[in-house]
Every structure is written in structure tokens, then in C-alpha cells.
Structure 1
Amino acid sequence: MESVNDYSEQALLAMVASGNELAFLKLFNLHKSKVYSVLLTITRSPECAEELLQDVFIIIWKRREYLLQIDCFESYLFIIARNKSYKALKKAAMERKKAALLRPEELHHNDTMESIFASEYQQLLHQAVNGLSPQQKQVYQLVKIEGLSREESARVMHIHPETVKAHLAKAVKAIRAYCKASFKMFFIF
């Protein structure tokens, strides 16, 4: 009695096409390591490659009646493996993207934290500005808060533009120092 081991690949494909499960098992055993290597190279995941290997051969079994029409079975097999790999990678990327979009609690948390930090910073900035000398405070408010130029601020305050520049430089330096020291204390606590 002849076994499936005695047949050429074309005869083996004919047997699989007719529904012979032993011939299909032989076909699987002949090609599984090569297909697995291709899948592993593309996916870089042994678990994913193993799962896709099963999927590739399920497709072969489901399409077995067309096996006799295929000129180069190995090429056909690798095209199925490649396509399954790319579909799996695309699906995984879409799931990661969807999962990132569906994390409103993290987004809410981040928005809340940003809001808290912004509020804390505004308070800190307000305290720093209040600690300036009267002229530095007025220059800072005119230039940085109200958006006036140095020349416009000089006209409002009835001082020279270079004096405005000097007061603004001292104000900014004092505010930076105050905020830097306060942030250090905030992170220590």
C-alpha cells in the first residue's frame, strides 16, 4: 500500500484537493518551517507567527479545490503568508491607534494636570509680579501683559525708552528667579 510520503508535490496537491487530510498534513509538515520563518521575519513575534502559520494553512485547506490550478505552490503559499502578515500588522496598528483614542480618562487626567499646573503657574507669576518694585511692576504690566512697545510704555510712564528697557530686564530677571526658586520648592515637596 502506498503512503502520502511516496507522492510528488503535484500528486500531493491533487490528494489535498480531493480532501485527503493525511496528504494535507504531509503538505503542512513539508512547508511549515519555511512559512514560519517568513512570518517571523515580517511580524517579529513568535506568537503571532505561530498563529498566522495556522491561518495560512487553514486558507490552503479552505481553497483546496483550486490547488491544481496553481503553477508554483510555494510562491502561492508565501504570497498568502505575506498578505496575512501585513493584514495582521495593519490590524494591530489600527487597534493601537484606536486604543490610544479611546483613553479619555488619560486625556482628561492630562488636561486636568495641565490645568492645575497652568493655574499654579499663574498664581506664581502673579506673586512674582507683586514682589517687583513699583516701576518694574508697571513696566512689566504695560509691556508683557498689555502688549505695549517700550516706546509706548515710556510715553505712558513719562520716562526714557532705555529706562523702560532696564526696568523690564530687571523685572524679567526677578520673575524668573522667583519662579525658578518656587518650582524647585514645589518639586521638593
Structure 2
Amino acid sequence: MQENLNTERQWLERLAGGEESAFRLLFDRYHPFIYSFALRMTASDTIAKDVVQDVLIRIWINRRSLHSIDNLSAYINRMTRNQVLNGMKRRAHEESLIRELYPSRESHNPTEEAALGKELEQLLYKAVAQLPAQQQKVYRMSRIEGLKHDDIAQRLNISRETVKKHMMAALRSVKQYLLENGNAIGLLAICLLEARR
């Protein structure tokens, strides 16, 4: 058991150092677990695949801190559960906003809502892509990785106040971009942005 622990510790250190073969090993080992766990929670193959991708991307992004993890399986389990729950909350919120924007629709149309959600996601992506580099980093860490201002400040080696200023400027610019887009999707994106503050 101790030998396995040492092997996993060495493996995590290699992964923290950015070794792609170590990440491939993690992918092969945990991909089936993440997928089946997400599938059990969501009963959706598509969402489960999205969760696998999100979890693995977050692990790679946060790889430098992996060497300090004592129980990788528990860490991945918790991260997968959080991704599923956050995704479900986000989806419920988006569907609610879509219903508010289109109250006259009598029937529930999952295909139309999925297309609208995809259009919304693309619009937000374009809005964020036009931000200055530091604002983009802060926005993505906050909105995509779900980090708090203190954590972002520590990672970027800047003050919490600077993080707050970058975030406020980023939100202003993104909202301006969405307003200039001038359609219902832009309005929906602004509502979503406000709801996540």
C-alpha cells in the first residue's frame, strides 16, 4: 500500500511538472470513473462527456497544485460532483431565463433551447475574447474555474483589490459588447452575467 502511495505521489509530481505522459496516465485511469459517475448523476451521455472534458481540463490547468493532494480519487470524485452540480444549476438558470424571454412559447422544445444555449455560450466567448489579457485571465478564473477573488489574487500574485478592479472592468466591457450585439441573445447573456455576480 505504501509503495502504491509513493508511486502515486511520484506520478502527481510528474503531472505537476507538466509531463504529458503523466496526464495521459491520469486520463486513462480516471476517464471511465468520471464518465460513469457523471452519467449516474445526470442520466445524459452528452452532459457526462462534457463533465469529463471539464474535469480533465481543470485538472490540467491546476496541475501545479496536484502534488499536495493526499487522495487523488477523492479529489476527482469531489471535482466531478461539483462540475455536475454547477452545470445543472447553470442549465436550470439558463432555461429559466429563456422562458422569461420567450413567455409566449407554449411547448418545451429541448432542441431549440440547446441551440439557444450554444448561441449564448458562443456570444459570451466572443465577448470575453476581446478583453485585455489580464482581464481575460481574471474573468476566466472567476467565471469558468469558479475561484474566489482571494485565490485569483494569490495565483496571479496581485492584490485582491486589483482582481476586483479587473473583474469590474471585464464585466463592463463584456456587457457593452453584449449590448452592441443588439438582440435577445445579448439580453439573455447580460441577465446571465448579472445573475452570476
State TM-score, norm by structure 2. 0.49
State TM-score, norm by structure 1. 0.51
- TM-fit CA distance, 1:63: 0.7
Which residue type is aligned with residue 92 of structure 2? A
Correspondence list, 1:1-189, <5 A: 8-106=7-105
CA separation in 2, counterparts of 1:24 and 1:106? 46
Which residue type is aligned with residue 69 of structure 2? I
Post-superposition CA distance 1:97-120 (Å, at most 9, x none): 11111114448xxxxxxxxxxxxx
SS of 2:49's equivalent in the other structure is helix
Percent identical among aligned pairs is 33
CA separation in 1, counterparts of 2:104 and 2:38? 36
SS of 1:23's equivalent in the other structure is helix
CA separation in 2, counterparts of 1:10 and 1:49? 28
Aligned length in residues = 101
Gaps of 5+ in 1: 1-6, 108-189
Post-superposition CA distance 1:109-168 (Å, at most 9, x none): xxxxxxxxxxxxxxxxxxxxxxxxxxxxxxxxxxxxxxxxxxxxxxxxxxxxxxxxxxxx
Which residue type is aligned with residue 72 of structure 1? N
Which residue type is aligned with residue 78 of structure 1? N
Gaps of 5+ in 2: 1-5, 107-197
Which residue type is aligned with residue 32 of structure 1? H
CA separation in 1, counterparts of 2:66 and 2:81? 18
CA separation in 2, counterparts of 1:59 and 1:42? 20
* 2:189 paired residue number: none
